[in-house]
Structure 1
Amino acid sequence: MKLSTLASLLSLEFLGKDKEISRLNTLANALEDELSYLDHSRYLDVLKSTKAGAVLISKEHTNALPGGCSALVTPTPHLSMAYASAYFATPLASTTGEPARVDPCAQIFPHVYIGKGAVIEADVTIMAGAYIGDNAYIGEGSIIHPNAVIYSGSQLGKRCHILANAVIGADGFGYAHTAQGEHIKIYHTGTVVLEDDVEIGACTTVDRAVFGTTRIKRGTKIDNLVQIAHNCELGEGCIIVSQTGISGSTTLGRNVIMGGQSATSGHLKIGDFATIAARGGVTKSLEGGKTYGGFPLVLQKDWLKLQAKISKFFNTNKENK
């Protein structure tokens, strides 16, 4: 829509040239027809080099906008972005558009829904009750088990294996908050890409990105009941064990192992060949090639030593009593 129209819908002051806006994106990646936002002064250097056509921005920072970049002036850029995201949300399903392209060698069981513009390549098997959204892509030889959901725009490589009730490409868990404590949904307009030979376990969820891509790289295997949040990137050959939770914008290097019920906080990096023991809680970025455990997280060997000392201390106290 026109930038001026969006400004009117959001009741915001509009500065600069009017232009068509097609989607939302980050300051670093936005293009001339895209809208971004600045919600903290630490991103001012990124703002100065942005190619965004317009930015949701507070009055005090408008002088930092690069030439040709328009402004929607708001005291709460993050909240205004949440409101704006509703106008650019991906439709859940469409009744118009190009029909799906299904290779004759694909095996489609009864009661499968395949949306407009979807592409199903050769030797794909889609079992009963599965849902394939608009413009999704399922690569050659992939298997989709019963009642799995592949939301619109999601991309699966060759020989991917999606077990029953897994959900690929649902909106991530993201909200902006009003002064009154209301939680305003941020509609996620990115996508999910699973590269070749990725396996997703039963009842596991991989959320679409807010902007850009949530990516699971080649050969990674994910167990049942795992949560992968928006904008995560998992490197090649990772092993993610049941009930693990990976928070938004976390990056795992190649061949990272995360034991059962382990978890990360968001916006951190775990290096290549790191191992997180079961129930390990990752709160900061980690060097690769080491095994970690416990909470707060330490090297696993130190965690085991600590547990032995605690056990000895309690046993000594019991004997003294």
Structure 2
Amino acid sequence: MKFSEILSKLADINLSHSLINYPDCDPDLESVEAIEYAANKQLSYIEGAKFARHIHTTNASALILPPDPSLQSTANQRGIAWIASQQPRLLFAQVIALFYQPCQPTPHIHPTAIIDPSAAIGKDTYIGAYAVIGAKVKLGNGTQVYPHVTIYPQVEIGEQTILHANCTIHERSRIGANCIIHSGAVIGAEGFGFVPTAEGWYKMQQSGYTILEDGVEIGCNSTVDRPAVGETRIRRNTKLDNLVHIAHGCDIGENCAMAAQVGLAGGVRIGKRVILAGQVGIANDVKIGDGAIATAQTGITGNVKAGAVVSGSPAVSNKLYRKVSAIYKRLPEIYQIFRQLKQNN
């Protein structure tokens, strides 16, 4: 694909971008690659000072650059075609889509799929080998159900949603349109609800619902539990990485992102645009405000205000955490000073 062709297609989908290109060369491009490894006939991007140094050594034939005149001048000197954007990484993601799209199966129902006669199957649906679809399930138009998926009775799944191989959707679950559920994920399984008695643990039936709104993506081997009453809800366009656990009764706002091994206890309330880095843990019934960020391995036991950035366990402000971390490695030295002062007194 010619660089000029890419520019033309980007102009169609990036009306909000300010795009500038270096028109004196129009290389053929075959693929995309990270800036450190890019070779001839590949396109890459630079975002942030950490990667800017690669402008001097990269073998890429074309680059997406920030609006930095020095980077653009170097690209000109090296004969590298370029395009500039305020959001190079976003533009790079859109270029990737020009070179690669996930496989799209031809709509059909595999003869080994087991489908209850009462299930309502939408148009242009793909149902793979050995998938099991229970009674009164509703599948929207264009859904993709890959091999060995199990959908329990009365589940509703919206249009264009993709259920990858070996995921399981339990009863009393509703999944919106344009969602992606990756392999091994379990949606709507019984929450961890037991009442202590003199004889042991009495099982509380989980009669609530699990709701995933439009555009939600659930990573491999992640779990979203069904509550005893009420609902567990993940709101529009929120993204979960692999190995994330959402306990019963949680409510997660729109456009949130959770990295691998995040764990939410029951009843957690999370606002919009919240980011939880890897291995963050949140205790029962905690409320997290809009736009808050928790860095990796943060343990949150109390409410977090909107826009706050927290770290550590138990969680404190990220600014305080960084100060404490800087002091931590000096504690033996500080202790010796303190001990000497005490002896002198």
TM-score by length of 1: 0.67
Question: Which ranges of structure 1 fall in alignment gaps of 5 or more residues?
Answer: 1-96
1:278 aligns with 2:296: yes
Q: Which amino acid aligns with 1:138?
A: I
Corresponding residue number in structure 2 for 1:294: 312
Based on CA coordinates, which of the two structures has the bigger radius of gyration? 2
Length, aligned pairs only: 225
Q: Which amino acid aligns with 2:322?
A: L
1:309 aligns with 2:334: no
1:143 aligns with 2:162: yes
2:319 aligned counterpart, secondary structure: helix
1:254 aligned counterpart, secondary structure: coil
Deviation at 1:311, TM superposition (A): 1.1
Deviation at 1:209, TM superposition (A): 1.6
Q: How does 1:169-248 map to 2 (within 5 A)?
A: 169-180=188-199, 182-248=200-266
1:269 aligns with 2:276: no
Q: Which amino acid aligns with 2:281?
A: A
Of 259, 269, 272, the residue aligned with 2:277 is: 259
Corresponding residue number in structure 1 for 2:10: none
Deviation at 1:121, TM superposition (A): 0.8
User: Partners in 2 of 1:213 and 1:309 — Cα distance?
Assistant: 44
User: Partners in 1 of 2:336 and 2:240 — Cα distance?
Assistant: 43
User: Partners in 2 of 1:257 and 1:301 — Cα distance?
Assistant: 17
User: Partners in 1 of 2:211 and 2:152 — Cα distance?
Assistant: 14
* Superposed CA offset, 1:175-215 (max 9, x none): 001124x0111110011000000000000000012111100
Q: Which amino acid aligns with 2:161?
A: S
User: Partners in 2 of 1:138 and 1:291 — Cα distance?
Assistant: 35
Corresponding residue number in structure 1 for 2:32: none
Corresponding residue number in structure 1 for 2:26: none
* Superposed CA offset, 1:275-302 (max 9, x none): 0111101111110101000012100110
Deviation at 1:174, TM superposition (A): 1.1
User: Partners in 2 of 1:281 and 1:132 — Cα distance?
Assistant: 34
Q: Which amino acid aligns with 2:147?
A: A
Deviation at 1:153, TM superposition (A): 2.1
Deviation at 1:313, TM superposition (A): 2.2
1:111 aligns with 2:130: yes
Corresponding residue number in structure 2 for 1:155: 174
CA RMSD of aligned residues (A): 1.9
Of 185, 190, 205, the residue aligned with 1:166 is: 185
1:121 aligns with 2:140: yes
TM-score by length of 2: 0.63
User: Partners in 1 of 2:260 and 2:207 — Cα distance?
Assistant: 28
Deviation at 1:109, TM superposition (A): 0.6
Q: Which amino acid aligns with 1:155?
A: R
Identity level (%): 36
User: Partners in 2 of 1:201 and 1:261 — Cα distance?
Assistant: 14
User: Partners in 1 of 2:308 and 2:302 — Cα distance?
Assistant: 14
Deviation at 1:314, TM superposition (A): 2.9
Q: Which amino acid aligns with 1:241?
A: A
User: Partners in 1 of 2:117 and 2:182 — Cα distance?
Assistant: 28
User: Partners in 2 of 1:318 and 1:156 — Cα distance?
Assistant: 60
Deviation at 1:98, TM superposition (A): 6.8
* Superposed CA offset, 1:127-181 (max 9, x none): 000001111011100000011000112101010000001000000011001124x
Question: Which has the bigger relative contact order, CA under 8 A and spacing at least 6?
Answer: 1
User: Partners in 2 of 1:213 and 1:316 — Cα distance?
Assistant: 51
Q: Which amino acid aligns with 1:296?
A: P
User: Partners in 1 of 2:327 and 2:185 — Cα distance?
Assistant: 42
* Superposed CA offset, 1:221-279 (max 9, x none): 00000110000000000001110100101000001111111111111210000001111
Change (3 A) 1:98 1:189: farther
User: Partners in 1 of 2:220 and 2:336 — Cα distance?
Assistant: 45
